[in-house]
Amino acid sequence: MDQIITAAVAVVAVPLVLLGYIVLGERVIEALPDRLQVAIRPYFWALPAIGFATIFMIYPLVRTVIISFRNSEDSDWIGFANYKYFFTFPDTLTSLRNSLLWLIFYTSISVILGLVIAILLDRVRYESLAKIAIFLPVPISAVAASIIWKFMFDYQAPGTPQTGTLNALIGTIGHEPVAWLINSTTNNAALIFVGIWTVTGFCMVIISASLKAISTEVLEAARMDGANEFQIVRLVVTPLLWPTITVVGTTMIINALKTFDIVYVMTNGAYDTDVIATQMFSQLQHSHYGRAAAVGVVLFIAIVPLLVVNIRRFQQQEEQR
């Protein structure tokens, strides 16, 4: 019972406290000389966010970097040995290759689908309903999604009734059942497809929110000028959505690199489907903290260029407004 009270108070108190923080803080800042104001204000506003990030992410990141140079008993420095392991060990190399596949296909297809679906749905009356359909896989946990797709990919011996939807479908055209998750040619694609299936709704919702902010006047003007629908999408809508697409794309790239649940629950990386995160997990389980840390650091470094691109675009955005 006290939990409920705590929660209720938190829900009310936190926004109030932040409100007070902003209002009172601003009153104090406004009383300061101009130059001091401009210098202090940004830190004041960003302090809660930076504070949280420091405790929960920055300090652990620093610790991770340090651990990546030590052995798993944390008793000795071993230089770049963990990094060397990561880049030369065949298992980790396979996982790198697979993560690259995820990076390319998962990201591009889910962003493109999200964009296309958002644009298409914007044009029909039953948009809300269709949105729910596409969004439906998103709230499903990875374990549940794996159950769903186990039903879809299920394989029974040839000649026996198929319980898997896909094998039943190809059975109707006389094709032998396929062991989707075991066969090397199909398994990575199958897993990546499940990933895309679960996340397209997310891309669609975020892009749709930005799509709605595009004024119809702009679109009408383009139509007046004689542009057809395809041209409008290509030359007017997409450029306006580009900032959001970049954000969604970056998030998808990070998601692709971090993909763990789907691969873990469906195959745990068997039959060459391993990805970076599942590799790392098995290292962690055996307390190879150093190796797991090295992977974390490599991932962080890998996305920094991506973020620099984002920063550049934000700067463009600022120049334009």
Partner 1 sequence: MSAEQVTTRRESAVGAGVSTLDRLGYRLQRLPLHLVIIIFCAIWLVPTVGMIINSFRGVSDMGNSGWWTTLFPPHGFTLESYQQVLAIEGVTPSILYSVLITIPATVIQLAIATMGAYAFAWMNFPGRNLFFIVIVGLMVVPIQMTLIPVLQFFQLIHLNGTIMAVWLAHSGYGLPFEVFLLRNYLGGLPREIFESAEVDGAGHSVRFLRIAVPMTIPAIASLTIFVFLGIWNDLLVALTFLGTSPYRPFTVVITGLVTSLGGGWQFLTAAAVLQMALPLAVFIFLQRYFVRGITSGSVKG
Partner 2 sequence: MAEVFARLSSRAIALGLGTLLLVAACSTGGTTGNQGASSTDVTVWTAWGGDELKAFRDVLKPFTDKTGIKVHITTNRDSTNQIANGIAAGTDLPDVAPGPTDPTQVKSWVSKGALKPIETALGSDQFKSYIDNTYPALTTPPSGQSDNPYIGVINGKHYFLMVKTQVKGLFWYNKKVFTGTAPKTFDELLALNPSQYGGAKNIFCAGFESGAASGWPASDQIDNIIMRQSGDQIYTNWIQGKVKFTDPAIKLGYQTFLKEVSGSTVFGGSNTALSTNFAKAGDPLFNSPPGCLFLEQATFIANFFHQNKGVTAGTDFDFFAHPSMGKTEFDGNVNGFYDQFSMYNDTPAARQLLQYLATKDAQQIWANAGGTLGAIKTLTYNDPIYKRAAEIANGAKNLLVTAGDFMPSDMQKAFWQSLLNVTRDPGSLDSQLKHLDQVQAAAYTTS
Q: What's the maximum distance between 2 C-alpha atoms anywhere in the chain?
A: 84
CA of 310: how far to CAs of 110, 243, 302, 307, 318, in Å?
Answer: 19, 9, 14, 5, 12
Question: Dihedral, CA atoms, 301, 314, 208, 148, nearest 10 degrees?
Answer: 0
Q: Which of 84, 175, 212, 234 binds partner 1 (CB under 8 A)?
A: 212
The H-or-E segment that residue 295 falls in is: helix 289-320
82 binds, among partner 1, partner 2, none (CB under 5 to 8 A by kind): partner 2
Confirm or reject binding of residue 292 to partner 1 (CB under 8 A). yes
Nearer to partner 2, 93 or 138 (CB): 93
CA of 124: how far to CAs of 12, 112, 116, 235, in Å?
Answer: 39, 19, 13, 21
257 binds, among partner 2, partner 1, none (CB under 5 to 8 A by kind): partner 1
Which one of the spans 90-98, 230-238, 254-262, 266-274 is the region binding partner 1 (CB under 8 A)?
254-262
224 binds, among partner 2, partner 1, none (CB under 5 to 8 A by kind): none
Taking alpha carbons only, the member of 249, 254, 263 closest to residue 94 is: 263
C-alpha span between 133 and 149 (Å, rounded) = 17
Q: Which of 81, 93, 131, 282 binds partner 1 (CB under 8 A)?
A: 131
Residues 260-289 that bind partner 1 (CB under 8 A): 277, 280-281, 284
CB of 286 to partner 2, least distance (A): 4
CB of 300 to partner 2, least distance (A): 21
Taking alpha carbons only, the member of 194, 183, 203, 190 closest to residue 271 is: 183
- 141: Cα separation from own chain's centroid: 15
C-alpha span between 276 and 260 (Å, rounded) = 8
CB of 13 to partner 2, least distance (A): 4
Residues engaged in binding partner 2 (CB under 8 A): 2-3, 5-6, 9-10, 12-14, 16-17, 19-21, 23-24, 27, 71-73, 78, 81-82, 85, 89-91, 146, 154-158, 160, 179, 181-182, 264-271, 282-288, 290-291
Nearer to partner 1, 184 or 312 (CB): 312
